[in-house]
Structure 1
Amino acid sequence: MSIRHRTPTLGTAELLPGLALCAVGTAVAIGINRLMPTVSPLLIAIVAGAVVANTVALPARVRPGVQFSAKRLLRIGIALLGLQLMLGDILALGWGVIVMVIAIVGLGIVGTMYAGARLGLSWTQRLLIACGFSICGAAAVAAVDGVVDADEEEVVTAVALVVVFGTAMIPVIPLLATATGLSDTQAGLWAGGSIHEVAQVVAAGGAIGGGALAVAVVVKLARVLMLAPVMAVLSVRQRRADTRTDVTRPPLIPLFVLAFLACVALRSTGAVPDFVLADAKLVQTALLTAAMFALGAGVHVATIRKVGIRPVVLALISTVWVATIAFVGVLAL
């Protein structure tokens, strides 16, 4: 059971060193992305953060700012991600696809949780991997951590696994789609329904070609929308599980989830000017890139070795399981 204690508020001076480091990491990742547009700055940032953490002894004074970036900045970025979603686009997919998305997320989480239990992994480690692989990658991992307060090594392990297995899916899904005779639209549905990160879906959809990219992105964003109800359910569970009065319980619905839904609703009205959406996307990308760098800075090789092979096995099982559900859904449609 998770117990959430109150933490002291840090001053700006304490946060600055870590924030400056994440800002540099963000600038580098976005700069590389400008040179290589097909590679997401978020993925670059995670890798860059991990490289820095494993090659340089970071001073203790950067830790508060890095942790702030990994939690607070990421939640703001997730909220702004809602401005990319229009309910009309998702409803336009048709009820069959919407049911498929719900099945992917629901069955993906349940199946991964069951497999993780059989492997003897902790509840929080299973949940981080299940939501990360079934919903929207590293952002979902961090969102779950914001509700259940998992151990740091469990969070960084789940993030690292999302990067490794999600990236591996980029060439695999187009190849399998061709081998199984799927049309471009079907392949796009499969990519959007099975790959972990939005950026990874974009890369795979672009590789498939035709009309696959647009379909893949909308299906993936429909999975992202599932983040809100899943986080609400987890939050209610945590409140019921923790009956103590001397601890701070998670809110009934986390604030960043409410902000995410508000952004979705705002975008769906069509009242937000295009230039505002463009600027918001730049801010969202910068915030999420900084957060991914911070999460990557927590990925230490020694930590991955410490957790052992079982999370890796669960990540493989979850990847295959979610992809299978999505594939069956595409064929059923």
Structure 2
Amino acid sequence: MSAIALTHINSRVRDLAPGFVVSLIVAAAASFLSEHYGAPVMLFALLLGMALNFLSADSRCKAGIEFTARSVLRIGVALLGMRITLEQIVGLGWKPLAMVVILVVVTIGVSVVAAKALGFSRLFGMLTGGATAICGASAALALAAALPNHPQKERATLFTVIGVSALSTAAMILYPMIAKWLELSPQIAGMFLGGTIHDVAQVVGAGYSLSTETGDTATVVKLMRVAMLLPVIVCATLVTRMNGADPTGKRPPLLPWFAVGFLVLACINSTGWIAPVVQGSINELSRWCLVISISALGMKTQLKELASVGIKPILLMIGETVFLAVLVLLMLHWGM
């Protein structure tokens, strides 16, 4: 490697290090609070990041915060592929797979229509609908990375992450009670919890609070929803390309590199060659990348901007969550 290249790399690292280190410290604090108080780590990371939003205006931290919010996020999304294997999906049979495909497509479609009816863009409906239908905050961040840049994009993303994290926590408490009230069998209860709760951690918590069988089923169904992230990202990218919506004038690739990484890791994980300790380490690295990037996104956001969104986006996300729960219960009742 030439001396010029090394000098450039060293210069780049010096530029990015302050902002990245601050984001890492915020993420570590958020993880500590989450472990001790039981609230979603993404929510803590956002709130702590927003408390330090003055750092995004600091010339020493700005470049690193921008890099972390963009590039580290994409790395975290790519690493999510290590959570999924084809064996897990095939193991439950075709009915849960059909249920997952239907609920994701229908929920996102209804969300796009509802968003337009409330006066928002279709892309905002895709963002909130994707977060609700797939995997909560992780899906919101992944879709935001695939959607075109626009002035309100970061505010919409942060609002979606906050909303979906809060609703997922509420669902983790309420949905097991609903499953007991409806006297669902362990497997059906697992399909209900895995098909409705937004974030993976909350699905695991709710499922295993009922029984081991319910927890196992809920986790696999949830991972099937996570697998839908790839086709939805491709669809979001296609919409962006057709609309020519990016103000930079660049057409995004049909399959973003982080989506390719997601697919490759899912295929590698399906071979069974990956040791559990390696798989666990990559999953933990993915979690850290997402938490660090959401900390950086929080630092780029003004609290007063989020406070100005009004009641309509809140009603949209609550409506999407309720719609998803009712849709899954109806499909289970009809013999899915």
Query: What TM-score do the two structures reach when normalised by structure 2?
Result: 0.88
2:80 aligned partner: 81
8 Å Cα contact 1:184-1:211 kept in structure 2:
yes
Higher mean C-alpha displacement, 222-231 vs 273-282: 273-282
Q: Which residue type is aligned with residue 74 of structure 1?
A: L
- CA distance, structure 1, for counterparts of residue 64 and residue 246 of structure 2: 30
Q: Report what 2:94 is aligned to.
A: 95
Output the aligned Cα RMSD: 2.4
Decide whether aligned partners of structure 1 residues 216 and 11 sit closer, same or farther in structure 2, where only a CA change above 3 A counts: same
Which structure 2 residues correspond to residues 51-62 of structure 1 after superposition, within 5 A? Answer: 51-54=48-51, 57-58=54-55, 60-61=57-58, 62=61
1:33 Cα deviation (Å)? 5.0
Matches of 1:243 and 1:282, distance apart in 2: 34
Distance 1:178 1:59, change over 3 A: same
Cα contact 2:131–2:140 (8 A) shared by 1: yes
Whether contact under 8 Å (1:160, 1:299) holds in the other structure is no
Matched, 1:205 2:204: no
- Find the counterpart in structure 2 of residue 44 from structure 1: 41
Q: Is the 8 A contact 1:79 1:257 kept in 2?
A: yes
Report if the CA contact (8 A) 1:50-1:298 is conserved.
no
Matches within 5 A, 1:244-259: 247-259=249-261
1:44 maps to a residue whose letter is V
The aligned amino acid for 1:15 is L
Uncovered stretches (5+) of structure 1, i.e. residues with no partner: 1-8
Number of corresponding residues: 321
Tell me the distance in 2 between the aligned counterparts of 1:35 and 1:177.
28
Whether the 8 Å contact between 2:50 and 2:303 is mirrored in structure 1 is no
Q: Are 2:49 and 2:295, in contact at CA under 8 Å, matched by a contact in 1?
A: no
Q: Which residue of 1 aligns with 2:32?
A: 31
Aligned to 1:15: 16
Q: Tell me the alpha carbon deviations over residues 263-319 of structure 1, each in whole angstroms, 9 at most, x when there is no partner.
A: 000000111223322322232222122123233445543122211111001001100
Q: The residue matched to 2:21 in structure 1 has which SS? A: helix
Deviation string, structure 1 residues 77-110 (Cα, Å, up to 9, x no partner) = 1111111111111111110110000011000101
Q: Which moved more, 1:47-56 or 1:158-167?
A: 47-56
Q: What letter corresponds to residue 17 of structure 2 in structure 1?
A: L
Q: Residue type matched to 1:182 in 2?
A: L
Rounded Cα–Cα distance in structure 1 between residues aligned with 2:56 and 2:296: 14
Structure 2: which 5+ residue stretches go unaligned?
1-8
Structure-1 residue corresponding to 2:6: none
Which one of 226, 229, 240 corresponds to residue 227 of structure 1? 229
SS at match of 1:252: coil
Query: Structure 2 residue aligned with 1:311, among 301, 313, 316?
Result: 313
Q: Among the aligned pairs, what percent are the same residue?
A: 30
